[in-house]
Amino acid sequence: MEIPTERNYVLATGDEAERRLEIVNAVHGPDTEQFLARAEIGPGQRVADIGCGIGVVTCYIADQIGPDGEAVGVDISAEQTRVAARRAAERGIANARFIAAPAEATGLPRASFDRVYARFLLMHLPDPEAALREMAALLRPGGMLMVEDGDFEGVYCSPHAVSFDRCFELYRSVIRQRGADPTIGMRLTSMVLSAGFPRCEVAIAQPVIRDGEAKRLPEWTLLEAREQIVAAGLATDAEINSIAADLMRLAADTTTRFGMAPMTQVRAVKPQSEA
């Protein structure tokens, strides 16, 4: 199995990505918090957040599990985990720690976590099944897997805008060129079942934005992906500049709605035994 490296990132990492990732959580965070509540995240649990980025959700989990619990954030990017550790320290969160490792081979002890969580991770991996097997291995028997990921075919702008469609066409294309699947949410349920979980519970959440800073997210995502898109020959700098300018205009228009990526949320309990 070939383990991805930090070079697989389509978007920026570390300090450069911090503000965008805060906005991502502003958009998807309310649905994530409801998802985690249904998974009964609670005091004293040990929870792993795989593909943790700058640790926004890891720190939220750390708050929920309290000082007797432990939240472990894992990301392949050392820049991401550095920023995550700094943010946790600034908030005085002592029960969260962060390690740089690939999702497919975290190096964490087997069968030692009550909950394992991931968001917007599998869509970026060439072998998402390997990451799911790793997450399953980290869970103790009776522990719960919690995974949510997107379907970037499901985004929309209303009224229709060609620039919005082109933005996400480019984003999907550059992810696919790297061997990953930007529509993985559509098959997430079957993937979890195939990873050794006999049953699962599924929900769909799709944020819709009419105004505010979060409406700039498509534009910022495109601009962060610019280098990778141009290098892949998918678009020119001039086209990206034109798309970004129109996305900025659309973001300022409160009569326009952006439907962001529908998120499939899957939770499943690890069997108590292999029998």
pLDDT above 50 for 6: no
- Per DSSP bridges, beta strands 96-100 and 70-75 are parallel
User: Is 274 inside a domain boundary?
Assistant: no
Q: Look up residue 70 and give its DSSP letter.
A: E
* Boundaries of domain holding 121: 9-269
pLDDT at 21: 82
Tell me whether residue 50 is in a domain: yes
CATH number of 140's domain: 3.40.50.150
Q: How many residues does the chain have?
A: 275
> Exposed, middle or buried, 162 (CB in 10 Å: 0-12/13-18/19+)?
exposed
pLDDT band of residue 2 (cuts 50, 70, 90) is very low
pLDDT digits (tens, 9 = 90+) for 100-156: 999 999 999 999 999 999 999 999 999 999 999 999 999 999 999 999 999 999 999
What is the model's pLDDT at position 3? 45
2 in any annotated domain: no
Any idea which residue has 């601009």 for tokens? 223
In a domain, 4, yes or no: no
Torsion of CA 205, 58, 185, 101, to 10 degrees: 170
The pair of structure tokens assigned to 1 is 């199995």
Kindly state the percentage of the chain with pLDDT values over 90: 89
Domain membership of residue 19 (yes or no) is yes
Say if CB 248 and CB 205 are below 8 A apart. Answer: no
Tally of structural domains, the chain? 1
pLDDT, residue 127, reads: 97
In this structure, is residue 230 part of a structural domain? yes
Given this model, what pLDDT does residue 22 score? 85
pLDDT at 17: 67
> Which range is least confidently modeled, 24-33, 250-259, 266-275?
266-275
Distance CA 146, CA 24 (A): 18
Grade residue 8 by pLDDT with cuts at 50, 70 and 90: low
Q: pLDDT, tens digit, for every residue of 54-89?
A: 999 999 999 999 999 999 999 999 999 999 999 999
Going 155 to 52 to 43 to 191, the CA torsion angle's sign is: positive
Q: Is residue 3 part of a domain?
A: no
CA dihedral (112, 40, 105, 60) positive or negative: negative
